Chains A and B, each alone.
Chain A
Amino acid sequence: MMTTSTDRVHLGSNLSFYGEETIPNKDRAFFIKALFLAFTLNCLNQSIGAKSLKLALLDTGFCPSLALVNPNIIIEPVKDVTQSNTYKCHQNQLAGARFHGQRVLDLFSALYPKEAGHKKIVITPIVIFNKDGQQSFTYWNQALKLSQDHAIILAAAGLRLPEDETKRRQQSSKAPIPEGIIIVASGRVGPNIPKTTKLFPQELSSLDNMILVGSYHKPLFEKGFALKDGSLLYREAIDYYFEYSGKLSPTLKGASRALAVGGAKMLEHCAEEAGKGALDFKGCLKKKSFKISFKENLPLSKTLFSLP
Chain B
Amino acid sequence: MNLLKKMTPLMLATMIIAPSMILEAANAQRAGSENRGDRPRNGDRNGGSASLNREQRGQLLAERSFSNWDRRYIGKRTIKLQDDQEIAQRTREAANAHKSLEALTNTLTQQEQALKKVQANKQAINKTIIALNSAIAKAVGEKNKIKQTIAPKRQALRELQTQLQLNQRAAQTTSADVDNIKDRIKKVEENLKVTQESCAATPAPNCQAKINKLTNRLEKVKAPLADAVKLNRAAQKSVSDSEKTIANQQTQIREATKKVALIEQQNTQRSSQLSLKQTELQSANRQVTAAQNTLTPTIKTYAQSLTRRNEAVKRRDDLKEIIIQRILRINGIGASVGESAGGIDGDYYAESIGVRRGQGDGDRDGVNEGTRVGQDRSYQSGVAQGEIEGSAQANIDGHADGTRQGTSAAHVAVATTEGQSAGALRASQSDAASIGITQGKKEGATRAEATGKRVGEALGEKQAIEKNESHNISSTQISGEFAGAFSARVPDYPGFDCVSYRGRRFNGDDFGWRGQRDWRAEGNCPNFRPREHSEHARTNRPILREAFMDAYVRTYRQNRRAQFVRSIDNYYLSTYEDFRRAAFQDFSNQEYPAQRAQGRTSGYNTNYNARYPIMRDQFYNEAYQAVSANPDRNNSDYTTTYTSVEASSYRSRYEDIRVENYQRTEQATFDAKIPIQTEKFRSARFNSVDGIYANNPVLKFISSSVSDGGISGVAKADGVYQPDEVTLHNVTLTNFGKVAATNVTVSMEDGTSVKLPSIAANSTVTVKGAAKSKISRGRIGTSHKSELKVFSPLTAEAAIQGRHYYATSAAKLNLSDNVSLMRAYPMSLAGLRTDGELLINEKNSLQLNISNQSKRPYTGPMTIELSVDSRTNVITSEFDKIDSLKNSITLKSAEVLVASERDVYRPLVFSAKITKQGVTIGVLSTSYRTMAKAPYTNKAGKPVIVVDSDKNPGILLEVLSDLKGLANASVLDLSLSRLNAKVLNDGLDKKSIIVLDDSKGSTVAGVDSLLKSTEDSTMIFVDQNSAGLAIAKRNARGMRNAVKITNRLNGMNSDLELFYTNQWLDGVRDITVAAQASRENFRQVLNTLSSFNTTNAEFVAQSGRALTKSNWSTPNSTVQAMISMAAAQVMAVSSSMDQNERGDLIDLMKSDRLLFQKILRAPGDKKVKKSNLSKQLASIMMWHVLDKAVDSFDDIQDKIHHRIESRLEDEMKDVMIGEGIRIFSKGTYNYLKKFDKGLYNSIDDNKYRQSPFRL
Which residues of A does B touch, CB under 8 Å? 59-60, 83, 97-98, 100-101, 103, 129, 132-139, 156-162, 171, 185-193, 197, 199, 215, 217, 220-221, 224-225, 227, 229-231, 244-245, 250-257, 259, 295-296
Contact = CB atoms under 8 A, between A and B. Distances in A.
Interface stretch (B126-134, B476-484, B1109-1117, B1139-1147): B476-484
B468 A60 contact: no
Interface in B543-574: 554, 557-558, 561-562, 565-566, 569, 573
Interface stretch (B268-276, B323-331, B486-494, B1202-1210): B486-494
Interface in B578-626: 580
A160 B487 contact: no
A103 B485 CA distance: 11
B566 A251 contact: no
B566 A230 contact: yes
Nearest to B477: A134
Nearest to B76: A221
A257 B487 contact: yes
A171 B476 contact: yes
B477 A191 contact: no
B481 A251 contact: no
Nearest to A135: B484
A136 B473 contact: yes
Given A136-B473, A257-B487, A189 B576 contact: no
A-B interface, 4 closest residue pairs, ranked by CB to CB distance from nearest:
A254-B488, A133-B481, A97-B482, A160-B478
Given A185-B486, A193-B484, A254-B490, 9 more contacts: A100-B482, A133-B480, A162-B476, A190-B573, A191-B480, A224-B554, A231-B488, A255-B486, A259-B486
B801 to A, nearest CB: 42
B476 A137 contact: yes
Given A83-B465, A217-B561, A230-B569, A159 B486 contact: no
Contacts of B483: 160, 190-193
Contacts of A229: 565
A191 B576 contact: yes
A256 B580 contact: no
B848 to A, nearest CB: 60
B478 A188 contact: no
8 contacts: A83-B461, A97-B485, A133-B480, A159-B476, A217-B561, A231-B490, A231-B569, A231-B573
Contact of B492 (A215, A225, A245): A245
Contacts of B478: 159-160, 192-193, 197
Q: Which of B465, B482, B557 has the most CB of A within 10 A?
A: B482
A161 B476 contact: yes
Nearest to B573: A189
Nearest to A233: B486
Q: Which of B365, B469, B487, B492 has the most CB of A within 10 A?
A: B487
B725 interface: no
B646 interface: no
Q: Which of B472, B488, B558 has the most CB of A within 10 A?
A: B488
A209 B120 CA distance: 94
A259 to B, nearest CB: 8
Given A138-B469, A156-B485, A189-B569, A162 B558 contact: no
Given A190-B573, A191-B573, A191-B580, A98 B488 contact: no
B566 A191 contact: no
Contacts of A254: 486-488, 490
Contact of B482 (A98, A252, A259): A98
Nearest to B461: A83
A231 B488 CA distance: 10
A253 B487 CA distance: 5
Contacts of A160: 476-478, 483-484
Contacts of A186: 486
Contacts of B465: 83
B475 interface: yes
Contacts of B576: 191
B485 A129 contact: yes
Nearest to B468: A138
A137 B472 contact: yes
Contact of B475 (A162, A188, A259): A162
A228 to B, nearest CB: 8
Interface residues of B, number: 39
A192 B476 CA distance: 13
Nearest to B365: A191
Nearest to A225: B558
Given A162-B475, A217-B565, A60 B485 contact: yes
Q: Which of A171, A190, A252 has the most CB of B within 10 A?
A: A190
Given A227-B561, A230-B566, A132 B481 contact: yes
B1015 interface: no
B362 interface: yes
A221 B566 contact: no
Nearest to A230: B566
A24 B479 CA distance: 71
B469 A220 contact: no
Contacts of A221: 76, 554, 557-558
Nearest to A83: B465
Nearest to B555: A224
Contact of A190 (B476, B486, B558): B486
A129 B482 contact: yes
B387 interface: no
B345 interface: no
A256 B487 contact: yes
B487 A135 contact: no
A190 B554 CA distance: 30
A223 B758 CA distance: 104
Given A138-B469, A159-B484, A256-B487, A192 B479 contact: yes
A158 B365 CA distance: 21
Nearest to A296: B562
A136 B76 CA distance: 52
Nearest to A251: B487
A255 B566 CA distance: 16
A191 B562 contact: no
Contacts of B347: none
Q: Which of A136, A188, A192, A221 has the most CB of B within 10 A?
A: A192
Contacts of A227: 561-562, 565-566
A160 B448 CA distance: 46
Interface string B867-887: 000000000000000000000
Contacts of A159: 476, 478, 484
A231 B573 CA distance: 10
Nearest to B75: A221
B361 interface: yes
A188 B469 contact: no
Nearest to B471: A138
A224 B469 CA distance: 50
A227 B562 CA distance: 6
A193 B476 CA distance: 13
Contacts of A129: 482, 485
Contacts of B472: 136-137
A254 B469 CA distance: 30
Contacts of B577: 191
Contacts of A156: 485-487
Nearest to B495: A220
Contacts of B484: 135, 157-160, 187, 193, 199
A156 B365 CA distance: 22
Contacts of A190: 483, 486, 488-490, 573
Given A135-B477, A160-B478, A100 B487 contact: yes
Contacts of B565: 217, 227, 229-230
Contacts of B488: 188, 190, 215, 231, 244, 253-256
Contacts of B573: 189-191, 231
A161 B485 CA distance: 14
Contact of A136 (B362, B469, B557): B469
Contacts of B477: 134-136, 160
Given A136-B473, A160-B483, A191 B362 contact: yes
